[in-house]
A and B are shown apart, each in its own frame.
Chain A
């Protein structure tokens, strides 16, 4: 419990502490017992770009790659006939707090080989930018937008880099980072004011709103033309 006189809410707002677990348990016994065919192939092909390899949850192989070469590695994993990871099951990010780098996680699944692989790229907090993989898997589009919204990771070359979850005028930071206070950074009054100041239609592209109005105007104009022609015929 807290020491007498200390602030009871400090512990809550400080957020969780970094865990003592080792990040790269290279000597995990499972890794040696059941080698993953893609991991060796990746090491052969990309050498230094494969930073580390670990096994978690028994048989989930995790490969840490150089964030600068993520698209190169992932497109090889998708295209190579021996790998053929054609299904991006999930794309997310993890912040372990304590100033550690943010990990961008690609959870891959190969449908023909029935094989899973988790690829992680660690981004230091100072340069949270990584190449977008929306060109490889279309489903990465929204997932990358979500990661950008929640963690502040910039996905270079993303086809549609808008917010997806938070309001357009949101300015309190990135909610899923460990240092983000649970209730946000602004007061409730300021949050309420800002919420009502936003225009719900800001969240849409003009194209998404539908060009209904111009169409309507055009059709009305057409109808008028038709009528006038009919009137002329009548005369």
Chain B
């Protein structure tokens, strides 16, 4: 006896749509990416422009800027981060729930930019893990949108079976530098920075934890 229950394709037997769980989960995740805007400089102006009606990030699923890290999926660090702000950035990242992604927007967030000075973090990847780097000073809204679409692309390739590997987080690592000393050295090296030059000069003692004399002889 045939079932006369109306299905979505008309009357007949119930219809099914089969797919992979991975596909559905990734589809849902990548199309509802709520950004946590961490804007500290002129890049934030471009980020605001991207969210405004002309570029309208909401088209891509960044429906609203989530000013609470607990409801955000992707951290957009837009602008330079001084060392005084580093623990704040780290805490916001630690407060975001999994799954979470991070975008480093602009030259300063990615490498310190022109601010190769005593007060500036030389790339936020020494503080938090970064998924996508957007070059530019500042990047245009198209750049940010392209970066977010790269995050979407990255999400499409994720698999729930690799959850433990992709989303692994050590609770003991909260609030600690993401990169070790050697890694910080490597990360900060190629950008015209800094530590190597100080070392070469021989005038500056590096890796010193003691407070040095304020005046050179």
Name A residues whose Cβ lies closer than 8 Å to a Cβ of B.
7-10, 12-14, 99, 125, 152, 165-167, 171-175, 177, 179-200, 203
Residue B167 at the A interface, CB < 8 A?
no
Interface centre among A8, A177, A187, A193 (most CB of B within 10 A): A187
A7 contacts B118, CB within 8 Å? no
A-chain residues with CB within 8 Å of residue B171 when the two chains form the complex: none
With A13-B201, A183-B194, A192-B121 already in contact, 20 other A-B pairs whose C-beta atoms are closer than 8 Å: A9-B198, A9-B200, A12-B201, A13-B203, A13-B204, A152-B214, A166-B119, A167-B84, A175-B118, A177-B215, A180-B118, A181-B203, A183-B117, A183-B195, A184-B119, A189-B181, A189-B182, A190-B206, A193-B177, A196-B176
Complex Cα distance A54/B180, Å?
Answer: 54
Closest B residue to A175 by beta carbon equals B118
**A175-B119, A179-B215, A196-B86 as given contacts; A13 in contact with B198, CB under 8 Å:** yes
B-chain residues with CB within 8 Å of residue A182 when the two chains form the complex: 116-118
- A-B interface contact total, Cβ < 8 Å: 127
B206 contacts A192, CB within 8 Å? no
> Per-residue 0/1 for B173-217: is the Cβ within 8 Å of any A Cβ (1 yes, 0 no)?
001110111101100100001110110111111111101101110
B177 contacts A188, CB within 8 Å? no
B184 contacts A192, CB within 8 Å? yes
**A13-B204, A184-B118, A186-B206 as given contacts; A195 in contact with B84, CB under 8 Å:** yes
Residue B127 at the A interface, CB < 8 A?
yes
A198 contacts B117, CB within 8 Å? no
- CB-defined A-B contacts under 8 Å, sample of 30: A10-B202, A12-B201, A13-B203, A165-B84, A173-B214, A175-B119, A181-B118, A182-B116, A182-B117, A182-B118, A183-B193, A184-B118, A184-B119, A185-B212, A187-B207, A188-B185, A188-B194, A188-B195, A189-B184, A190-B206, A190-B207, A190-B208, A192-B177, A192-B179, A195-B84, A197-B87, A198-B84, A199-B87, A200-B87, A203-B84
Min CB distance A101 to B, Å, is: 12
